[in-house]
Amino acid sequence: MKAALHPQEPARLAELRRYAVLDTPRESDFDAIVELAAELCEAPAAQINFIDNVRQWSKAEVGVGVQTVPLELSICAHALLADGFVEIPDLLADARMMDNPVCLGPPFVRFYAGIQLRGTSGDPIGTLCVLDMKPRELTPLQRRSLIVLAQQVMAQLNLRATLENESTLRSEIDHRVKNSLQSIGSYVSLERSASTNDETIDVLRGVQQQIGMVAELHGHIASVSGEGTLELAGYLNRVTELLASIVPGGVTVTGHFETVRIKPKSGAILGTVINELVANAVKHSFVSTAGAIALTGELASDSTYRITVQDDGTRPPVPENQSKRAGLGLAIINASVRQLHGSIDSAMTPSGYRTIFEFAL
């Protein structure tokens, strides 16, 4: 006999969908639960089943060998209509099961005990059950064990649902933050374009670069959330593209970086250093507003990374009569390098002005 629909079937199915567990791969955590259930209950078979609108699907099973059965063959679908724990000592003596092919033919199931798996709404979405091929009864200890194991199944599912919800929320927040940063950056860009004061243009360019740097860092951190580290080459390549789009039209900025993983906080500091070095080169290294800035990054050792900023300018980026902005830029660079436990060295070379700084990974 096919089980009747649950009284709250639409809500029950919605709760099942919320857990997004159907058709997911087998996992050792759930396999261990059914193995322990079978062992504790001295049963040849055990399952974690979820009841969809047309089928019974097993997240984990032992001793059965089948993952999906139609609803008309599902014993667990009947168990969803009970109060919680269901034990049927002899299935062939039960009016609901005496015509069920799984009882009359292979695998000749004769005993069933199952505890409902209830979502946070209280609606049942499946069962943890044990099966036997002969009539029998569970001991009180076995019944309690089955109930406790069912609680562990739901604890796992609820934890995963919570983490998924947090991930979705974090993704939405990340999206809004990035959009906000881009909007502010666009506004600063418009103000810079409208200004005729060189000092104001210089300051706004620095602000725009820093906003863009934060936006890029935020986007990269969001994309690797959960790993705890930032892939440096990808991040610095995007930083290079950003700087190339902001600097004056006659200046080119290129980059090539060896990959390594660093802490996101180090990435933020590193972005600030590069931003200031490129800004200084744009303002002070070139006689005209034309030139090239090349950024490279490589492992100097197993624990040290080296960044080189090379331009083809003809004068150092900080003259003796430096502006307040240039002086502040140098202070920011030096403070940032100290935070990275690094060192920095700048010099004029035959090819132009070069800065090399190294920091601890």
Residue 346 in this model has a pLDDT that exceeds 60: yes
Same domain, 152 and 199: no
Tell me if 241 sits within 8 A of 280, measured CB to CB: no
pLDDT of residue 231: 86
**Stretch 324-339: mean pLDDT, rounded?**
75
In whole angstroms, what is the distance from residue 132 CA to residue 113 CA?
Answer: 9
State whether residue 190 is helix, strand or coil. Answer: helix
Task: Note the maximum CA span of the chain.
Answer: 100
* Alpha-helical runs (H) found in the chain: 9-19, 28-40, 76-79, 101-104, 140-194, 198-223, 232-246, 264-284, 324-339
Task: Mean pLDDT check: name the lowest of 109-118, 196-205, 333-342.
Answer: 196-205
Encoded tokens for 127: 């069962």
Residue 227 in this model has a pLDDT that exceeds 60: no
For the whole model, what pTM was predicted?
Answer: 0.54
State whether residue 71 is helix, strand or coil. Answer: helix
Tens of pLDDT along 116-165? 999 999 999 999 999 999 999 999 999 999 999 999 999 999 988 887 77
pLDDT of residue 211: 74
Residue 178 lies in a domain: no
Same domain, 81 and 157: yes
**Stretch 97-120: mean pLDDT, rounded?**
93
Same domain, 143 and 219: no
pLDDT of residue 133: 96
Beta bridge partners of 118: 124
Residue 45 lies in a domain: yes
Same domain, 328 and 204: yes
In whole angstroms, what is the distance from residue 13 CA to residue 6 CA?
Answer: 10
Give me the number of domains the chain comprises: 2
Same domain, 253 and 152: no
Residue 3 lies in a domain: no
Q: Compute the CA torsion angle 321, 325, 326, 328 (nearest 10 deg).
A: 120
pLDDT of residue 327: 62
Pick from 118, 145, 162: which residue ends a domain? 162
CATH number at residue 350: 3.30.565.10
Tell me if 22 sits within 8 A of 53, measured CB to CB: no
Same domain, 327 and 279: yes
Between 182 and 118, where is the model more confident? 118
Residue 142 lies in a domain: yes
In whole angstroms, what is the distance from residue 8 CA to residue 214 CA?
Answer: 49
Tell me if 297 sits within 8 A of 256, measured CB to CB: yes
Written as one letter, the residue type at 244 is A
Same domain, 205 and 352: yes
Same domain, 210 and 347: yes
Cβ neighbours of residue 14 under 8 Å, at least 6 residues apart?
none
Residue 306 lies in a domain: yes
The pLDDT mean for the chain works out to 85
Nearest to 66 by CA among 104, 107, 94, 100: 107
Same domain, 211 and 349: yes
Residue 190 lies in a domain: no
Encoded tokens for 249: 């039209």
Tens of pLDDT along 272-330? 888 888 888 888 888 777 899 999 999 999 899 999 999 998 765 555 555 554 566 67
The three-point CA angle 130-133-139 to 5° equals: 50
Between 216 and 337, where is the model more confident? 337
Same domain, 199 and 157: no
Nearest to 30 by CA among 153, 113, 205: 153
Residue 144 lies in a domain: yes
Encoded tokens for 124: 């049942």
Encoded tokens for 194: 């409208």
Pick from 104, 139, 162: which residue ends a domain? 162
Same domain, 236 and 152: no
Pick from 137, 162, 187: which residue ends a domain? 162
Residue 109: which domain range? Answer: 9-162
Encoded tokens for 245: 């789009």
Nearest to 275 by CA among 287, 267, 264, 265: 267
Bridging pattern class, strands 261-262 and 124-132: unpaired
Same domain, 18 and 138: yes
CATH number at residue 158: 3.30.450.40
Residue 137 lies in a domain: yes
pLDDT of residue 326: 55
Encoded tokens for 235: 């991040």
